[in-house]
Copies of this chain bind each other. A is one copy, B any other.
Amino acid sequence: MPRFPRPKRSAGRPSPPPRRYHHGDLKRVLVDAALELAAEGGPEQVSVREAARRAGVSPAAPFRHFASREALMSAVAEEAQRRFRTEIARAMADALADDPLARFRQLGLAYLRWAMRNPAHFTIISTRAHFDHDGSASVSRDNAELIALTGDLLAEAAARGQLRPLDLATARIAGRALVYGFARMHIDGHFPRWGVAEAEIERTAEAVLDLFVGGLIRA
């Protein structure tokens, strides 16, 4: 006797998903549930059991698809990274094509906006502790591309004589530290202490970016 007696279907009905023993697309549903959990309560709140619960499945079921919580988190990270990458690409498509410094600024702004609007997902893809970056080829590739892009934009700006004399590698890293730090200050709740109200944050982000870029250009 089956432990989960299949509910009798009234004859001709085409079957609204009434609890089959095999879920069908559990892997994807688990990742989605985990993304939700992260968005709701931060990365630490993601639990295999709760994801299973939301998928309507037993606590052990997820382990057929993910060997560990960490493996689930890696899948979550890859999905988050995919969304991040898409958003950045969209922003860069909108940016002026012929001014590398303007594109650099636009890249920084898009990065900041996505990070601040998706704090949990940003944290997951940004913090080694939450999943194994090196284990994900796509995340590594995306990151490498983004890093290369910032380098290219700065190099192009330098080639056009827009920059004061400075070390490009240092400027690249400083720029990243700036936007990463700003995003994390927001996520980690620093801004109230700095007298920056929620409503001012995006404006402040632009001001900070402009100040930084202003410090790079030839006077």
Residue A9 interfacial (CB < 8 Å): no
User: Taking CB as reference atom, which chain B residue is nearest A128?
Assistant: B189
Selected contact of A167 from candidates B126, B193, B211, CB within 8 Å = B211
Q: Is the CB of B188 within 8 A of A127?
A: yes
**Size category, A interface:** 35 or more
- Is B208 a contact of A173 with CB atoms below 8 Å? yes
Q: How many copies make up the complex? A: 2
Give Cα distance in the complex from A40 to B136, angstroms: 26
The DSSP consensus for interface residues of chain A is helix
Whether the Cβ atoms of A193 and B144 lie closer than 8 Å is: yes
Q: How far is the CA of A7 from the CA of B195 in the complex (A)?
A: 59
Chain B CB within 8 A of A204 CB:
yes
- A204 proximity list for chain B (CB < 8 A): 170, 173
**Interface presence of A194 (CB below 8 A):** yes
Q: Is the CB of A211 within 8 A of B171?
A: yes
Residues of A within 8 A of B (CB): 42, 44, 126-129, 133, 140, 143-144, 147, 164, 166-167, 169-174, 176-182, 184-185, 188-190, 193-196, 204, 207-208, 211-212, 214-216, 219
